[in-house]
Amino acid sequence: MMNRRAFLKQAGIFSAAIFLPSCLNKVKEQKKNPYLLVVSGWQDVNIGDIAHTPGLLHILQTYLPEATITLWKRSKNEKVEALLKKNFPKIDILYGNPDKDFTITDGRLLEAIDRADVFIHGSGPSVVAANCLEAWRKITDKPFGIYGTTIQDISPSLKNLLEDASFVFTRETASIGKLKEAGVTKSEIRFVPDATFALNIYDEESARAFLIANDLEDRKFICVIPRLRKTPYWLIRRESYTERQIEETTALNNKWKEIDHAKAREAIIRWVRKTGNKVLICPEMTYQVDIMDELLIDPLPDDVKKNVVKRGYWLPDEAASLYSKAFCVLSFECHSPIISLKNGTPAFYLRQPEDTIKGQMYYDLGFDEWVFEINDTTGEQIADRLMDVYSNYDNAQAYRRQGMDKASELFEMGVKIVSQFL
């Protein structure tokens, strides 16, 4: 199994660069009622992508309680909007996109930009809203920055944008290495984890109803989340893909899907036969509902299969409530383990190499023992580690808390840096 040192070498990282910046020793007097404009909400077919937004809003409200926040949300979904309004009733939500030349004509967005003291690009897979940052830069010279993204491919235009940012927070140290390689060397480049590590929304009623209906007892079931090597977005968003792109992606997924998930099934079998307890198969993305049976349930022996239940697509508030009752979460997706760790449950990230450098954040926070580089991992190793957690749950919880404490410290550090520009 690939260790932390090997991952770091692979990612080209030579320094963690996570130490507190010197500027924190010289905190200027903060504006009493700052106004923050936040752009986030990349897509709604993935509970991880949804979770970025409430996670960041919770961070900002925790450390800047006097601030007025407006959310500029990129995707529009009635259920997700209702979730955000329920949990953040004081935050206005705006929609819209700049024109191709980065011009904004929407009156409410222009008003928000005029009022805002600083513009924050939310946590995410990349600088997804670079066009929104460009629009801000076109309209005003007020500060802007990025809070917890993966920055892997840096074009000349993105480099120019990043060099003009007041702060750049990457969600893993591997991105800091990429920035250095590209010649982006601003003083306020820091590692600040994915904002999902701060997710603080719940749907206890729905979770409890599901647990009761499926006879799932607190801390007596594990959750397992499947994933194909590359997401078949042509089945989700009806985007334009060439036949060749579809064929190549499908071939890659077909090559690995059984190999990958057989390893997870080995852990499922060991868990059921050793403990007699249940397993919940659940999705992080919408398409995964359709692959659960094929990859994780149908191949199981009958004596194990009878202990397996499954859940359809859901929202991160219900997932957080349910994961908090699980014994452990095993996931090929990156964000379900994060939601679990935040909510008191040990979690394993079964990392596929196609899943970008974002997995580095687990190593950065000290969760080395719970990351399994799937190409270098056997099912037996996953099962062994699961049973080790089973035998030493107090130790596992102490290990989880240590990593989460580090995440909280880094979130606070990030907001202190942001406060320099208010």
297-347 residue pLDDT tens: 999 999 999 999 999 999 999 999 999 999 999 999 999 999 999 999 999
Q: What is the dihedral of CA 368, 374, 380, 383, to 10 degrees?
A: 60
CATH topology of domain 204-405: Rossmann fold (3.40.50)
> In angstroms, rounded to a whole number, what is the distance separating the alpha carbons of residues 182 and 421?
25
Supply the pLDDT for residue 31. 67
Compute the half-sphere exposure of residue 156: CA atoms within 13 Å on the CB side of its CA. 0
Where along the chain do its domains lie? 15-198+408-419, 204-405
Phi/psi for 52 (5° steps) reads -50, -45
| Token digits of residue 180 | 């250095």
Give Cα 263 distance to the centre of its chain: 23
The label of the residue with tokens 């990043």 reads: 162
CA dihedral 344, 346, 349, 350 (to 10 degrees): -150
pLDDT value at residue 3: 52
- Tell me the mean pLDDT per 10 residues along the chain, length 422: 47 40 43 92 94 98 97 96 97 96 96 98 96 97 96 95 97 96 92 98 98 98 98 83 93 98 98 98 97 98 98 98 98 98 98 95 98 98 98 98 98 96 93
Residue 223: its H or E element: strand 221-225
pTM: 0.92
Assign 217 to helix, strand or coil: coil
pLDDT of the residue at 25: 39
> Would the CATH topology of 15-198+408-419 be identical to that of 204-405?
yes
CATH architecture of 15-198+408-419: 3-Layer(aba) Sandwich (3.40)
Handedness of CA 163, 41, 222, 296 (dihedral sign): negative
Q: Are strands 308-310 and 278-281 parallel, antiparallel or unpaired?
A: parallel
Provide the pLDDT for residue 32: 77
Q: How far apart are CA 278 and CA 269, in angstroms?
A: 10
Angle (CA) 12 337 367, round 5°: 50
For residues 137 and 144, what is the distance between their CA atoms, to the nearest angstrom? 8
In sequence order, what E strands does 65-199 have?
68-73, 92-94, 118-121, 144-149, 167-170, 189-191
| Residues contacting 213, CB < 8 A, separation 6+ | none
pLDDT at 9: 43
Look at residue 30 in the predicted model and tell me its pLDDT.
57
**Cβ atoms within 10 Å of 247's Cβ, excluding its own:** 11
How far apart are the C-alpha atoms of 291 and 374, rounded to whole Å? 19
Helix ranges (H only) for 4-89 are 4-11, 47-63, 78-87
Q: How many CB atoms lie within 10 A of CB 24?
A: 13
Spatial separation of the C-alpha atoms in residues 319 and 340, rounded to whole Å: 9
Of residues 290, 280, 342, 291, the one with CA closest to residue 316:
342
| Distance in angstroms (rounded) separating the CA atoms of residues 302 and 313 | 25
